[in-house]
Structure 1
Amino acid sequence: MFAEHVQPTRAEQKRRTTARVTEAAARLFREHGFHGTTVRQIAAEAGVSVGAVMAVGDKESLLSLVYDDAIAARIPPPPAAGSTTSAAGYLARYFDPFLDLFAGNEELARAYFRALTRGRPENAALGGLRTLAENNLTAALVNTGMPEDRARLGAQVMFAGYLGELVLLAAGTTDFRQAAARIRRTAAFVTSHERP
C-alpha cells in the first residue's frame, strides 16, 4: 500500500511557523533579555527567514505573543458551584499566576507592560484575556449566590484593578508583593460590598 504524502495547507504552515518563531523568541528573550535579542537571532533560532519572523510580528509583538501564551496557560478555571473555595479567595488569587510570571523576569515584564500600553492592534489578545478573566470571575461570584449583574460588575472591577497594577509595575512605582496585596484588598471589597 502506498502512503500518501499530504502537503500541509498554507494555514497549517503559517501556524507552524508562528509557533516556531514564538518558541524561539521566548527562549532568546529568557536567555538574552528583550533588548539583547534581535529579529535576526530569532530567525536563526527558529530556522526561518527574517521576513518570516516579521510576518509573525516585530520584536515587541513577539514578546506580546510569548506573554499572551504564557498567561493563557495559567488561567485558573472558576470553582464549581458548591465548591469550598470562597469567591474572595478565588478572586484574590486569580491573578497570582500572572504576577508570578511577571516577577520571574522583571525586564521582560516591563517591556511587555510597555507594549500593552501602546494599544497596538496586535495586543488584541488582551481583549481576549479580559473576556476570559471577567467570565471566570463572574462565574465564581455567581456560584456563591451573587446576582449576575453585580457579579459581572465585580469581575470588571477586578480586571480593571489588575490592569492598573500592571501600569504601576511598568512605571516602577510598586512591586509585585504590593500589587498582589492591593488585588487581594480589591477582591475583599468586591465580595463584601453590599449593593446600594
Structure 2
Amino acid sequence: MFSEHVQSTRAEQKRRTTTSIIEAAARLFQEQGFQGTTVRQIAAESSVSVGAVMAAGDKESLLSMVYDEAIAARVPAPPTARSVTSAVDYLSRYFDPFLELFTENEELARAYFRALTRGRPENAALGELRTVTEHNLTTAMVNTGTPETRARLGAQVMFTSYLGELMLLAAGSTAHQQTAARIRHTAEFVTAHEQ
C-alpha cells in the first residue's frame, strides 16, 4: 500500500515536471526560435536540471510535444447530425485552426515538420490526430448523407491532402490563403465524388 502511494506520488511529480518543461520550452521557442533555444535555457526556465530536461526529451522531441499539445487543444468538436449543414464547409473549415497554428511561427513549423519526417516514436500523436480527424470528418459526411464506407475514404483523402498542404505551407511554397483554398477544393471534390 505504501509502495503504491510512493509510486503514484512519483508519477505525479514526473508528470508535473514534464509539463513544466514543455511549457518552458514553448515560451522559449516562441521568444527565441527553435535554433536560438538551448536545453540549458529550458532547464533554467523550468527550474530543473539539464538531465531532467533530457529525461523528458531532446530539443526536437520537446518541440514535437509543444506542437502536439497545441494541435490537440485545437481539434474541433465532433459534429452532430444537426450541426453539419454542408459537408464541404465542415471539411474545409475543420483544418483552419491547424493552419493558423502553423502560420503563427513559420520557423517553428518548419522545425516541427523536420521532426515529423524523422518518424520517431514520440511522433505517435500524429497517428492519434489522424484517427480523431478521420472519425470527425467521416461523421460529418455521414450526417449529410454520404454512405459510411465512402465517407471513410473521403476522410482519408482529406487528411492526406491536409498533411501535404501543411508541408507545402511550412516549406514556404504556398501562402495560408492558397492552402485553405486548396483544402476547400479537395473537400468539394471529395463530396462531389462521394455522391
Q: Report the Cα distance in structure 2 between the residues aligned to 1:194 and 1:29, rounded to whole angstroms.
A: 42
Aligned pair in 2 of structure 1 residues 162, 77: CA closer, same or farther (>3 Å)?
A: same
Q: Hey, what does 1:172 align to over in structure 2?
A: 172
Q: Hey, what does 2:39 align to over in structure 1?
A: 39
The reply to whether residue 161 of structure 1 matches residue 167 of structure 2 is no
Q: Report the Cα distance in structure 2 between the residues aligned to 1:70 and 1:175, rounded to whole angstroms.
A: 21
- Equivalent positions of 1:13-162 (< 5 A) are 13-162=13-162
Name which of structure 1's ranges 117-126 and 22-31 shifts more when overlaid on structure 2: 117-126
Structure having the larger proportion of residues in helix? 2
Q: Deviations over 1:144-179 (max 9, x none)?
A: 121111111010000000111122123322222211
Q: Report the Cα distance in structure 2 between the residues aligned to 1:35 and 1:174, rounded to whole angstroms.
A: 23
Structure 2 unaligned regions, length at least 5? none
3-state SS in 1 of match to 2:74: coil
Structure 1 unaligned regions, length at least 5? 1-5
Q: Report the Cα distance in structure 2 between the residues aligned to 1:142 and 1:54, rounded to whole angstroms.
A: 45
Q: How many residues align?
A: 190
Q: Report the Cα distance in structure 2 between the residues aligned to 1:178 and 1:119, rounded to whole angstroms.
A: 27
1:194 deviates by: 4.1
Q: Report the Cα distance in structure 2 between the residues aligned to 1:153 and 1:139, rounded to whole angstroms.
A: 12
CA RMSD of aligned residues (A): 1.4
TM-score for both structures, normalised by structure 2: 0.92
1:19 deviates by: 0.4
TM-score for both structures, normalised by structure 1: 0.92
Q: Report the Cα distance in structure 1 between the residues aligned to 2:9 and 2:31, rounded to whole angstroms.
A: 33
1:85 deviates by: 3.0
Work out the percentage of aligned pairs sharing the same amino acid: 76
Q: Report the Cα distance in structure 2 between the residues aligned to 1:184 and 1:52, rounded to whole angstroms.
A: 44
Native 8 Å contact 1:103 1:109 kept in 2:
yes
Q: Deviations over 1:81-109 (max 9, x none)?
A: 13353111010011110110111111111
Amino acid corresponding to residue 67 of structure 1 in structure 2: Y
Aligned pair in 2 of structure 1 residues 194, 99: CA closer, same or farther (>3 Å)?
A: closer
